[in-house]
Amino acid sequence: MDIGLLVFLPVLGAIASLLSRLKRPGPDHVQRHALVALIAPAICLLLLLSYLPRIQSGEALVYSLSWVPEIGLGLAFRLDGLSWLFATLITGIGCLIIVYARYYFAGKDTAGRFFILIQLFMTAMLGIVLSENLLFMLVFWELTSLVSFLLIGFTWSSRNARRGARMSLVITGGGGLALLGGILLLGQIVGSYQITDVLAATDTIVSDDRYPLTLSLILLGAFTKSAQAPFHLWLPHAMAAPTPVSAYLHSATMVKAGLFLMARLHPAMGDTELWFSLITITGMVTLMVGAFVAMFMHDIKGLLAYSTISHLGLITLLIGMGSEMAMAAALFHLTVHALFKAPLFMMAGIVDQATGSRDMRNINGLWRTMPALMLITAVPAAAMAGLPLMSGYLSKKMLFSESLLVTAPHWATTLIPVWVTVAGLFSVAYSVRIFHNVFFNGQPVDLPHWPPRRKPAGMLIPLFILASASLLVGLAPQATYDTVIHLAVMATSMTHLPLYDFSELSDAQGPAMMSMIAMLGGVVFYLARGPLFAIHRQLPDVDAKNIFEQIMQQSIRFAQSLVYRLENGSLQRYLAFILVAAIAPALWMLTGYTGWQGPSALTEVNPMVVFGAVILCLSAIGVALFHHQRLPALLLLSVTGLFVTLAFAQFSAPDLALTQLSVEVMAVVIMMLALSFLPQTSPRESGAGRIARDLVLAGLAGTGIALFAYAVLTRPAETISGYFLANSVPGGGGTNVVNVILVDFRGFDTLGEITVLGIAAVAVFAFTRDLHLKERVASAGTAKGFAEPHPVILQMVSRMALPIALLVSAFIFLRGHNMPGGGFIAGLVTAVALTLQYMAGGLVWAQERMLTHFRPLIGAGLLIATATGLGSWVVGYPFLTSAFSHMDWPLIGEFELATALLFDLGVYTTVVGATLLILANLGKLMTVAGPGQEVG
Amino acid sequence: MELVIAITLGVLTSTGVYLILRARTFSVVLGLTLLSHGVNLFLFSMGRLTTASPAVIGLVENYTDPLPQALVLTAIVISFSMTAFVVVLALKAAVELRSDHVDGEDPNEDRQ
């Protein structure tokens, strides 16, 4: 568990920092922030040190907690030699960075934000190195990209910072996507995302067909993160971040994540030709590009950034070689590099703050004013150059001796040694330059602050500690290696190997020669820098940022044009896309399917049905043909509706026929009302191409439905209705099975449905509330036939018809449980009867005579239905269980009293209320009073 | 017989789809109504079409499948309420935007 604690402690620390930030900033608030921020990393470091004995016994501590086992995602942590080495570097250097930042940010309000982000970053980084689950690791991986984005853009008022931040996010985030793909593939190959399982499945992975793709994707993620060419572009621009960030994220830790990943997966995926060529070549190119460009940088941080790239390339090259000894050299150099690069960055920050400049053409001769800084910096600079007795000397010699051991492939045997010697030469040159230029080389030129501002001595403490550590490693390499690095190397090769023998290294002739060449060449190169810089200035100036911005702009333009094509604001086009998306897969899957004709024999053709079907089809086609003439189209539509009703009646569905009939009346009335406010014709505006496209889509959709229907109808029916038919009378107490299903078996559906009806009605009410039609629609309601709005005969007949209609609806309602009818139909009949009154007598006349408003009616209906359901709950049955008994009513006969009847009453009330609310509010628009008065 | 039903369903769907692809809201409402007729009939026919056998216990000997009927009954009422809603939406849009084009603006407005 405490391994998990290790990862999440810094988050707690970040929260503590956040809280400490709430306190009003005082004169020493940075000090307070720094102390608060130091707690969690310090505890982590102590915890890690306490683990060392167990790690040294060769143990791999794994702690896991299942999270989403279905997709192999778990909260699992792993602490072995490799992750211990990384975690210790992360927390150790992190602590020193916080100390450094306490001085760097002194007197700045942004300090609090920095301490929060740096601890979040620490969590992310520890998560990467300690995760046992690859998917889980990926989450932390992306988190480092995000936090890095925030830290590079720390001073967001600067355009450079914003652009640098975006660039790093795009490149590392893009690499993260590739890595996700790679890890998913790896997980599929292995069948598990646990690192333990992956490491145990080497043969499966390497022999799989997907191995090249998987490896390429994973390496893409690693290369982008670790700034390998050509993805190194983001790192120099990340230097816009505050210097503590550069020292920590962009030299010592985050950029090493890619190297960590390669080292971690090396036992599982390494030692193949592909591994060798991909990684080695990338490493070689990066090593050379970084070293060469660093030579010509004038900005201290720029030089350090490119030198970091170069060193990352070096380590990558060693990992690519893949032998145990190369891996030992890689991890040794990784540690050495972290120890010398972080203090050099810190030095750059101090010089920057003291003099106000980072340009080495101006900063010279600082040894007079900053002797202590000069002395401390001498150690890491010498280590970077690889001078004898320094840690960098050893790691460079390890590299040289490994490069001589490469035997295959053919091209590499001589190229690699020469290549690394030349790169070593460059690195000597730029190391000499940064030290000599800054601290010697004559007098300073035009510095913003001169004499330099004094920086507190405490700022030198972290430099001193790191420089001492670097020195110590150089003086006692064997002890360092044996204590920590050897364990990490074992984790990357999964074998017990002999300890690296440094005494052998010092005896070797070849590496010593190469070091000598590099050192002398580097010094010569530095001395000849004047003419070389002049030549370099002649070279075309390629600014990576401009290229990147161009690519960004182009991809944005491409995305925009694509979006415009897909999403141009035309709803017709969207709908066509949706239809195509529905039709195309069906067309693709079903082309060539021949089983449309089922086994059942076709039934005899009934002339009546054919006649009805022909009229139905003709009227539907008529609607489509004449839709420009809206009123005729609407009339034809009502014909269609009527024949649909007849179809229901013909095929044994009296309930449906009754419902459809009354709905049809209401729907046509509503559409007519609406039409009186809308233009009477639709313009002919579709071009021939559009019409052809729509005809094709419509034809395909219709053909598809027809084929499906035919295929189903010619096959024997399998139904689940047997249960309903059998239980309708004994269970539901009614003989009309359709109604019993509605109010009993599937009562919950019906409750939902009347709720929808109510909501639609209330929505209509809300929409029409503030609608001012008379003023706004010019072409609407041109007073055609408005002269005599309420014919007398209609008034008289409708008034007489009302009681009869209501009686019929009551009859339909009551018998509904046993015979066709029920709440829906009765409600619609009542609504139709009342609508007739509105049409005949006018809105005001009818409204005055209504006993109740409509919205309360909807609410009451829903309440009755719900209460009925809850009633059965109260007496201990499931929601909406019905109870019933039969009783004899004089004259009417046997009558059944069921709670379902009460439920149906709720349905009835809601239907009446909702329908009338819709109609009355649409009708209201026609009145002179307009929307002034609320209806319903 | 099955062929007749299938063709009718196809025609209802085709005309409905064609109309919902039109540019004016009223045509779309017409199309939606036709489409819901088509869908309701399609669902209904999934219970197979039999004549003179309503699912009323005791009335006849063989019952038709009542389940699709119950489903379609709710579908009819829902499509009615949706039609009413869409009609009012179209009305509101036409008034507020001064155009009954589905996109809320006449494509030729600028040129006029």
**Residue A784: is its pLDDT beyond 60?**
no
Question: Among A656, A714, A739, A743, which would you mutate to test the B interface (most chain B Cβ atoms within 10 Å of its Cβ)?
Answer: A656
- Mean pLDDT lowest for which of A311-315, A863-867, B104-108? B104-108
- pLDDT: which is higher, A545 or A849: A849
**Inside any domain, residue B102:** no
Q: Looking at residue A347, what is its pLDDT?
A: 94
Residue B110 distance to chain A (closest CA, Å): 15
Cβ proximity of A914 and A760 under 8 Å: yes
- Please indicate if any CB of chain A lies within 8 Å of the CB of B40: yes
Contact residues on chain A for B82, CB-CB shorter than 8 A: 760
Nearest to A674 among B67, B76, B87 (CB): B87
Q: Does the beta carbon of B72 lie under 8 angstroms from any beta carbon of chain A? A: yes
Contact B18/A at CB under 8 A = yes
pLDDT grade, residue B98 (50/70/90)? confident
Please give the residue of chain A at the shortest CA–CA distance from B66. A738
The whole-number pLDDT of residue A885 equals 62
For the stretch A684-702, pLDDT in tens is 888 888 899 999 999 999 9
A603–B2: do the CB atoms touch at under 8 Å? Answer: yes
Kindly tell me if the per-residue pLDDT of A27 is higher than 50. yes
**Is the minimum CB–CB distance between B37 and chain A shorter than 8 Å?**
yes
Structure tokens at A389: 């007795």
Phi, psi of A440 (to 5 degrees): -125, -135
Q: Tell me: pLDDT of A125 over 50.
A: yes
pLDDT category at A777 given cuts 50, 70, 90 is very low
pLDDT of residue B50: 83
What local confidence, expressed as pLDDT, does residue A659 receive?
92
* pLDDT (0 to 100) of residue A902: 87
Contact across the interface for B85 and A760, Cβ inside 8 Å: yes
pLDDT of residue A932 exceeding 80: no
Give the closest-approach CA distance of A631 to chain B in angstroms: 10
Model confidence at A787, pLDDT cuts 50, 70, 90, reads: very low
User: Are the beta carbons of B107 and A579 separated by less than 8 Å?
Assistant: no
Q: Does residue B22 lie within any of the structural domains? A: yes
Smallest Cβ–Cβ distance between A753 and the set B6, B8, B77 belongs to B77
Residue B38 lies in a domain: yes
List the single residue in A641, A666, A772 with the smallest CB-CB distance to B37.
A641
User: In this predicted model, which residue has the larger pLDDT, A805 or A852?
Assistant: A805
Separation of alpha carbons A729 and A707, rounded Å: 37
Identify all chain B residues contacting A710, using CB atoms and an 8 Å cutoff: 2-3, 6
Q: What is the pLDDT of residue B108?
A: 59
Mean pLDDT score of chain A:
87
Smallest Cβ–Cβ distance between B8 and the set A604, A605, A613 belongs to A613
Angle at A227 (CA atoms; ends A225, A232), nearest 5 degrees = 135
DSSP secondary structure string for all residues of A583-627 = HHHHHHHHTT--TTS-SSPPPPPPHHHHHHHHHHHHHHHHHHHTT
* Per-residue tokens: A290: 């970084």
Residue B111 — pLDDT band, cuts 50, 70, 90? very low
| Per-residue confidence (pLDDT) for residue B63, from 0 to 100 | 84
* Per-residue pLDDT, A736: 87
Preceding omega of A230 cis (within 30 degrees of 0): yes
Q: Chain A partners of B35 at a C-beta cutoff of 8 Å?
A: none
B87 touches chain A (CB under 8 A): yes
pLDDT at A142: 95
Interface contacts (A, B; CB < 8 Å): 308
CB contact under 8 A, A735 and B27: no
Q: In 3-state terms, what secondary structure has residue A226?
A: coil
DSSP A374-438: HHHHHHHHHHHHT-TTSHHHHHHHHHHHHHHH---STTHHHHHHHHHHHHHHHHHHHHHHHHHHH
Chain B partners within 8 Å of A750 (Cβ): 74
A812-844 tens-digit pLDDT: 998 888 888 888 899 999 999 998 888 888 777
Q: Are A300 and A433 in contact (CB under 8 A)?
A: no
pLDDT tops 90 at residue A771: no
Option in B1, B24, B67 nearest A606 (CB): B1
pLDDT at A506 over 90: no
Write out pLDDT tens, residues A712-733. 999 888 888 888 888 888 877 7
- Least Cα separation, residue A14 to chain B (angstroms): 50
The first and second tokens of residue A731, run together, are 């269970």
CB contact under 8 A, B40 and A644: yes
pLDDT of residue A223: 96
| Whether B103 and A570 lie within 8 Å, measured CB to CB | yes
Residues A674, B77: C-beta atoms closer than 8 Å = no
3-state DSSP assignment of residue A131? strand
In a domain? residue B103: no
The candidate with the shortest Cα–Cα distance to A420, out of A314, A533, A557, is A314
What are the backbone dihedrals phi and psi of residue A720, each rounded to the nearest 5 degrees, phi first? -100, 15
Domain presence at residue B20: yes
**CA gap A330, A84 in Å, rounded:** 16
> Is the CB of A713 less than 8 angstroms away from the CB of B45?
yes
Residue range A378-390: mean pLDDT, rounded: 91
Distance from CA of A833 to the nearest CA of B (A): 17
Minimum-distance CB partner of A697 among B5, B21, B59: B21
Option in A650, A666, A714 nearest B80 (CB)? A666
What value does the mean pLDDT take over residues A609-619? 94
Distance from CA of B61 to the nearest CA of A (A): 12
Chain B residues close to A683, C-beta within 8 Å: 24
Taking only the tens place, the pLDDT of each residue in A398-455 is 888 888 888 777 888 888 899 999 999 999 999 999 999 999 988 888 888 888 888 8
A728, closest residue in chain B (CA to CA)? B57
Could you tell me the CA-to-CA distances from A788 to A794, A842, A920, A929 in Å, in that order?
Answer: 12, 11, 20, 17
Residue A206, judged by CB atoms within 10 A of its CB (0-12, 13-18, 19+), counts as middle
Task: Please indicate, yes or no, if residue B109 is contained in any of the structural domains.
Answer: no
A828 contacts A663 by C-beta, under 8 angstroms = yes
Determine the pLDDT at residue A778.
43
Q: How far apart are CA B41 and CA A128, in angstroms?
A: 59
Neighboring chain B residues of A616 at a CB cutoff of 8 Å: 8, 11-12
Which residues of chain B does A609 touch, with a Cβ-Cβ cutoff of 8 Å?
1, 4
Question: Is a pLDDT exceeding 90 seen at residue B41?
Answer: yes
Of B4, B49, B70, the CB nearest to A738: B70
The least confident of A455-469, A751-765, A790-804 is: A790-804
In-domain check, residue B104: no
Q: Does B4 touch chain A (CB under 8 A)?
A: yes
Mean pLDDT of A801-817: 89
The pLDDT, as a whole number, for residue A182 is 95
Query: How far is A664 from A658, CA to CA, in rounded Å?
Result: 10
CB contact under 8 A, A623 and B1: no
Q: Tell me the C-alpha distance between A294 and A423, whole Å.
A: 11
Instruction: Give the three-class secondary structure for B24.
Output: strand
Does any domain span residue B107?
no
Q: What is the pLDDT of residue A845?
A: 79
Show residues of chain A in contact with B16, CB under 8 Å.
Answer: 620
Chain-chain contact of B34 with A623 (C-beta, under 8 angstroms): yes
| Contact indicator for A720, B16 with CB cutoff of 8 Å | no
Domain that holds residue B18: 2-97
pLDDT at A94: 94
- Yes or no, beta carbons of B81 and A675 under 8 Å apart: no
Q: Which of B42, B65, B72 sits opposite A656 (nearest CB)?
A: B72
Whether the pLDDT of residue A547 is over 50: the answer is yes
Judge whether B97 is closer than 8 Å to chain A, CB to CB: no
Q: Does B75 touch chain A (CB under 8 A)?
A: no
Q: Cβ contacts of residue A218 below 8 Å, gap of 6+?
A: A178, A179, A182, A183, A186, A261, A265, A269
Prediction pTM value: 0.68
**For the segment A310-364, what is each residue's pLDDT rounded down to a tens digit?**
999 999 999 998 888 888 899 999 999 999 999 999 999 999 999 999 999 888 8
- Residue B26: list chain A partners with CB under 8 A: 627, 630, 674-675, 678, 682
**Complex ipTM:** 0.94
User: Are A771 and B11 in contact (CB < 8 Å)?
Assistant: no
Q: How many domains does chain B have?
A: 1
**Any CB–CB contact under 8 A between B27 and chain A?**
yes
3-state DSSP of A449-484: CCCCCCCCHHHHHHHHHHHHHHHHHHHCHHHHHHHH
Q: Which of A393-407, A630-644, A681-695 has maximum average pLDDT?
A: A630-644
Taking CB atoms and an 8 Å limit, are B67 and A675 in contact across chains?
no
